[in-house]
Amino acid sequence: MTPFTFKIDVYADLICPWCYIGKEALDRAMAIYTAQHPEVDFMLTWKPYILWPNAGASAYNRGAAFRRVFGTRAPTLLRRLDLLGAQYGITFRWDGKTGNPRDAHKLVLLAMEKDEAEAEGKTAVSSLSSPPLGTQETPHPEQRRPSSNPLTPSRPPAHHQTHLYATVSYIFRAAFQLGADPSSRDFLAQAAVELGLCASEDDAMAYLSEEDSEDDEFYEENTTDVMNIDVKTQAVIEEEEHNHHHHGHDHQPNQPTIATNRNFPPTTNQHQNQTHTPEKQTTPHTTNQNQNPTTTTTTKQKKQIRRTSIIDTATSRARALGVAAVPSYIVQGRWQVGGMQREEVWMGVFQRVRAAFAAEAETEAGVGLGDDVGVGKGLRVEREVERGW
Q: What is the pLDDT of residues 91-110, one digit of tens each?
A: 999 999 999 999 999 999 99
Of 47, 56, 62, 55, residue with least CA distance to 13: 47
| Whole-structure pTM value | 0.69
Domain ranges of the chain: 1-354
Bond prior to 327 in cis (omega within 30° of 0):
yes
Cβ neighbours of residue 147 closer than 8 Å, sequence gap 6 or more: 194
Q: Is the pLDDT of residue 299 over 80?
A: no
Of 250, 273, 311, residue with least CA distance to 106: 311
Are 90 and 177 within 8 A, CB to CB? yes
Instruction: Render 46-72 in DSSP notation, one character per residue.
Output: EEE--S-TTPPTT-EEHHHHHHHHHGG
How sure is the predictor about 188, in pLDDT bands with cuts at 50, 70 and 90? very high
Q: What is the pLDDT of residue 191?
A: 98
Q: What is the pLDDT of residues 166-175, one digit of tens each?
A: 999 999 999 9
Q: What is the pLDDT of residue 222?
A: 58
CA distance 134 to 333: 37
Highest mean pLDDT among 55-69, 143-157, 243-257: 55-69
Are 108 and 46 within 8 A, CB to CB? yes
Cβ neighbours of residue 202 closer than 8 Å, sequence gap 6 or more: none
Q: What is the pLDDT of residues 318-363, one digit of tens each?
A: 999 888 899 999 999 999 999 999 999 999 999 999 999 999 988 8
Q: Is the pLDDT of residue 63 over 90?
A: yes
DSSP 103: H
How sure is the predictor about 159, in pLDDT bands with cuts at 50, 70 and 90? low
Range in 68-72, 155-159, 170-174 the model is least confident about: 155-159
Q: What is the pLDDT of residues 207-228, one digit of tens each?
A: 998 865 555 566 556 554 433 3
CA distance 383 to 351: 16
Strands 60-61 and 258-259: unpaired
Q: Is the pLDDT of residue 380 over 80?
A: no
DSSP 88: T
Q: Is the pLDDT of residue 184 over 80?
A: yes
What is the helix (H) or strand (E) element at residue 40, kind and residue range?
strand 40-48
DSSP 140: P
Bond prior to 278 in cis (omega within 30° of 0):
no
CA distance 76 to 338: 22
For the segment 113-118, the average pLDDT, to the nearest whole number, is: 90
CA angle, residues 229, 233, 235, in degrees to nearest 5: 125
Q: Is 1-354 a CATH 1.10.3720.10 domain? A: no
How sure is the predictor about 314, in pLDDT bands with cuts at 50, 70 and 90? confident
Are 98 and 68 within 8 A, CB to CB? no
How sure is the predictor about 122, in pLDDT bands with cuts at 50, 70 and 90? low
Strands 384-386 and 335-338: parallel
For the segment 17-27, the average pLDDT, to the nearest whole number, is: 97
